[in-house]
């Protein structure tokens, strides 16, 4: 959001149009912008408005809290404290916790979706602005990559079989999915902000028949900054249950480090864009203690 522009909308009208994400009942469709990269990877962006400032944000369910880069338009937001932000590379940076008001996703159809107040981390370093998981608290939404749409409170799927999301980290602020790599049970960290799937190197070392080496030392970077050189493998099969099996999924392989400690050793896999974009997802956070997911082929 480095090129934020002033929206031609006064504060009074903004407050009148603002609808908390957790209070919407009718469908609201938010357009997605997709940027694709090598090996099926990519990034997802939405347009977000903070008061009178508007610009693109990366949709990142791997960020527990929405994050913005320090800039003139947000430098005066009230600081509530400090927190650490750890990226997929394992690099940790220290950021301000700030109080953002009137955070809105403009809708293509239906009402705009937003929050009157939102806890945001404001960082002086990193790789751009992230719409994190805390924005979706109390919401039910779908991700449709074919139509390039994020829909809040979509019509319920009659044949859907919702499954519980795993709560990850000691704070239970991130989510994962129970799955199988070959015949080995594991938890996959659901991270729409990761361009590619990733696997902790120690897991690959003990389950080598499940993987095929593609290339040594490819360039990569994390959302918190920091370049690193993981290896590139293919995961032979990822079984999400109910016959939903994905084959030959590219994944970066490296030592998760601090990220491994945060997610837990039972979560050796990050589910990134190249897997997430192959399916249509329905995610339900309307019950804070029992979030669910379901998915079907595109």
Place of tokens 């799937």: 197
The structural domains of the chain, with segments of one domain joined by +, span 5-152, 163-297
Q: What is the DSSP letter of 214?
A: E
Nearest C-alpha neighbor of 2 from the set 70, 99, 97: 70
Q: Which helix (H) or strand (E) holds 273?
A: helix 273-276
Say if residue 280 is exposed, middle or buried (CB neighbours under 10 Å; 0-12, 13-18, 19+): middle
CA distance 80 to 35: 34
Per-residue pLDDT tens, the chain, 298 aa: give them. 543 333 333 333 333 334 455 444 689 999 999 999 999 999 999 999 999 999 999 999 999 999 999 999 999 999 999 988 776 666 678 899 999 999 999 999 999 999 999 999 999 987 789 999 999 999 999 999 999 999 999 887 777 789 999 999 999 999 999 999 999 999 999 999 999 999 999 999 999 999 999 999 777 665 544 566 899 999 999 999 999 999 999 999 999 988 888 898 899 999 999 999 999 999 999 987 899 999 999 8
Nearest C-alpha neighbor of 49 from the set 95, 120, 127, 103: 103
Note the pTM of the prediction, 2 decimals: 0.88
Q: What are phi and psi of 281, to 5 degrees?
A: -115, 145
CATH of domain 163-297: 2.40.70.10
Do the first three CATH levels of 5-152 and 163-297 match, i.e. the same topology?
yes
The radius of gyration of the chain from alpha carbons, rounded to an integer in Å, stands at: 19
| CATH classification for the domain delimited by 5-152, as one of 1.10.3720.10, 3.30.420.40, 2.40.70.10, 3.30.565.10 | 2.40.70.10
């Amino acid at each position: 959001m480095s090129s934020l522009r002033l929206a031609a909308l006064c504060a009074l009208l903004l407050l009148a149009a603002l609808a908390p994400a957790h209070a919407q009942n009718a469908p609201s469709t938010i357009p997605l912008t997709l940027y694709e990269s090598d090996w099926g990877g990519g990034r997802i962006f939405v347009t977000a408005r903070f008061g009178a400032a508007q610009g693109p944000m990366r949709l990142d369910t791997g960020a527990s809290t929405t994050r913005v880069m320090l800039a003139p338009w947000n430098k005066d937001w009230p600081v509530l404290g400090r927190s650490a932000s750890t990226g997929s590379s394992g690099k940790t940076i220290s950021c301000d916790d700030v109080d953002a008001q009137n955070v809105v996703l403009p809708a293509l159809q239906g009402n705009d979706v937003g929050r009157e107040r939102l806890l945001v981390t404001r960082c002086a370093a990193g790789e751009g602005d992230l719409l994190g998981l805390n924005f979706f608290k109390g919401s039910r939404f779908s991700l449709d990559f074919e139509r390039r749409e994020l829909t809040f409170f979509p019509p319920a799927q009659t044949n859907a079989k919702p499954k519980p999301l795993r709560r990850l980290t000691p704070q239970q602020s991130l989510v994962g999915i129970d799955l199988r790599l070959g015949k080995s049970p594991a938890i996959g960290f659901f991270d729409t902000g990761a361009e590619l799937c990733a696997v902790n190197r120690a897991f690959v070392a003990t389950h080598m028949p499940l993987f095929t080496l593609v290339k040594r030392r490819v360039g990569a970077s994390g959302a918190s900054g920091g370049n690193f050189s993981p290896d590139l493998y293919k995961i032979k099969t990822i079984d999400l249950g109910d016959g939903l099996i994905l084959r030959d999924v590219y994944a970066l392989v490296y030592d998760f480090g601090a990220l491994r400690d945060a997610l837990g050793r039972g979560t050796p896999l990050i589910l990134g864009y190249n897997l997430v974009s192959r399916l249509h997802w329905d995610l339900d956070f309307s019950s804070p203690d029992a979030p669910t997911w379901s998915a079907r082929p595109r």
